[in-house]
Amino acid sequence: MQTLISKRFVIRKSLIGKNQDITVNFKNGKTVTYNHDKVYEIMKDKLESMPCFIKYKSYTSSTSVPTPVKEVVEVQ
């Protein structure tokens, strides 16, 4: 499977269960790579109650990785 390249950290319902690796190139120059399913499992309870995730079926952050998942992302 090909790694998805993005400009923001993203969790999408459409990617759940696909074991997708995502590489994010933030504007501050930091690059992180993470497994979508691992991050989703850690954030699952919080995401399911967030209005953005309920309405748009996705969660994004253009500035950083959420604190609960910092231990499972690879910073380059």
pLDDT in the model for residue 73: 93
pLDDT value at position 24? 97
Best CA proximity match to 71, nearest among 32, 45, 16, 44: 32
DSSP helix/strand/coil, 42? helix
Domain that holds residue 39: 4-75
Per-residue pLDDT of the chain (76 residues; tens, 9 = 90+): 689 999 999 999 999 999 999 999 999 999 999 999 999 999 999 999 999 999 999 999 999 999 999 999 999 8
pLDDT at 68: 92
The number of folded domains in the chain is 1
Task: Classify strands 58-61 and 74-75 as parallel, antiparallel or unpaired.
Answer: unpaired
The pTM (predicted TM-score) of the whole model is 0.91
